[in-house]
Amino acid sequence: MLYIDAKILVRAPWFRAGRAAALAGGVLLTTGAQAQLTLLPSGPQIGTHVGNLVNNGSFETGGPGSTVRFWATGTGATPFGVPPGWTSSGGPSNYASWGRDGGPGPRIRSSDILPHGGNALYFGNGQSATLSSAPVFNASGEVTLSSPPMTSAPFALPVVLTQSVATHLAPAASYVLSFWISGESSGFATAPGTDGIFGLRVTNTQLGDPQRYFVVPGGGPSFGASHRFEFSFTPINPSLPVTLEFTNWGHFSLGAFGFAGTTELVLDDVIVNPVPTPGACGALALAGLAAAGRRRRGRWSTGR
């Protein structure tokens, strides 16, 4: 089976550190009829490479390492190469790159230091993105928009990365989605930073497969230089996979709303883990942790 072994789960530092409370809530309260995608509070990392259902989630397989390839299908930039396991799309002018560059690092496009290995994805798509109204950057890292972002010429299309993840072959009561986000120049930015926006869709977890929006940390005081986003989710139809979809529209031009031009998405270390169904004793233990240990801690990286 591809479950996280329960013994590994209990030994994991995050489980002992109190963040289990939020995950326990997801494990105990959701069913297939209550499918959801819940952003977890910041805290010690939950996702583990052991039991990761994502194929090439760290972009290390086939990675170019100390140089870059251009990965968003549709680009005219060369050399071209899509990370194995993933599907990509973009406009002809996109310059989304895979690997690492600059330093000291590893980093890509002067991001924060990569959390795993020596390859990550930069979603470069130019100074072309706009919004019809002001975004709201919530403290959780989720961004509230009144209408979808737009990408204008010459880039025309957003840069999109997708992978179907076979959760249906690893049945579980719930799953953890974990990934690391930084931004172009975020590792060297000075306050107030230029936080950006990216899109996340996880199909088969919310009715209508809505796209949601989250901050790309720009190195400023609010969100730091990088962040690991983690979610709990339950598939609507457990006999089908879920699809991860990451979208960058480009640097947003938000001067009309009082914001500076924004940074662009850097992504690494994508993980999906099944969470085993706790037995009666396990459920009681988790409930106890939830009651006694619930706390919320800010852990936005301040850059390094």
Site for Ca ion, rule CB under 5 A:
58-59, 116-117, 119, 268
Select 106 or 278, whichever has its Cβ closest to Ca ion.
106
In the complex, what is the shortest distance from the CB of residue 194 to Ca ion, in angstroms, rounded to a whole number?
Answer: 24
Select 26 or 64, whichever has its Cβ closest to Ca ion.
64
Select 113 or 157, whichever has its Cβ closest to Ca ion.
113
In the complex, what is the shortest distance from the CB of residue 259 to Ca ion, in angstroms, rounded to a whole number?
Answer: 30
What are the Cα distances from residue 2, in Å, to 6, 51, 59, 167, 172? 12, 6, 21, 10, 10
The rounded distance, in Å, linking the Cα atoms of 87 and 100 is 20
Residue type at 103 in one-letter notation: G
Q: Are 25 and 275 contacting, i.e. CB atoms less than 8 angstroms apart?
A: no
Q: What would the two tokens of residue 94 be?
A: 């996109």
Select 20 or 54, whichever has its Cβ closest to Ca ion.
54
Q: Which residue has the tokens 């479950």?
A: 3
Select 116 or 212, whichever has its Cβ closest to Ca ion.
116
In the complex, what is the shortest distance from the CB of residue 57 to Ca ion, in angstroms, rounded to a whole number?
Answer: 8
In the complex, what is the shortest distance from the CB of residue 28 to Ca ion, in angstroms, rounded to a whole number?
Answer: 33
Q: Are 96 and 122 contacting, i.e. CB atoms less than 8 angstroms apart?
A: yes
In the complex, what is the shortest distance from the CB of residue 121 to Ca ion, in angstroms, rounded to a whole number?
Answer: 9
Read off φ and ψ for residue 159, nearest 5 degrees: -95, 125
The rounded distance, in Å, linking the Cα atoms of 101 and 93 is 20
In the complex, what is the shortest distance from the CB of residue 120 to Ca ion, in angstroms, rounded to a whole number?
Answer: 5
Select 112 or 249, whichever has its Cβ closest to Ca ion.
112
The rounded distance, in Å, linking the Cα atoms of 102 and 248 is 22
Question: CB 257: neighbour CB atoms within 10 A?
Answer: 11
Among residues 191, 194, 233, the alpha carbon closest in space to that of 215 is found at 194
Select 117 or 293, whichever has its Cβ closest to Ca ion.
117
Calculate ∠ Cα 23-183-67, nearest 5°.
Answer: 115
In the complex, what is the shortest distance from the CB of residue 231 to Ca ion, in angstroms, rounded to a whole number?
Answer: 19
Select 112 or 268, whichever has its Cβ closest to Ca ion.
268
In the complex, what is the shortest distance from the CB of residue 214 to Ca ion, in angstroms, rounded to a whole number?
Answer: 19
List Cβ neighbours of 21 (8 Å cut-off, separation of 6 or more): 289, 290, 293, 294, 295
- Could you say which DSSP state residue 261 is in? P
Query: Which of helix, strand or coil describes residue 287?
Result: helix
- Could you say which DSSP state residue 56 is in? T
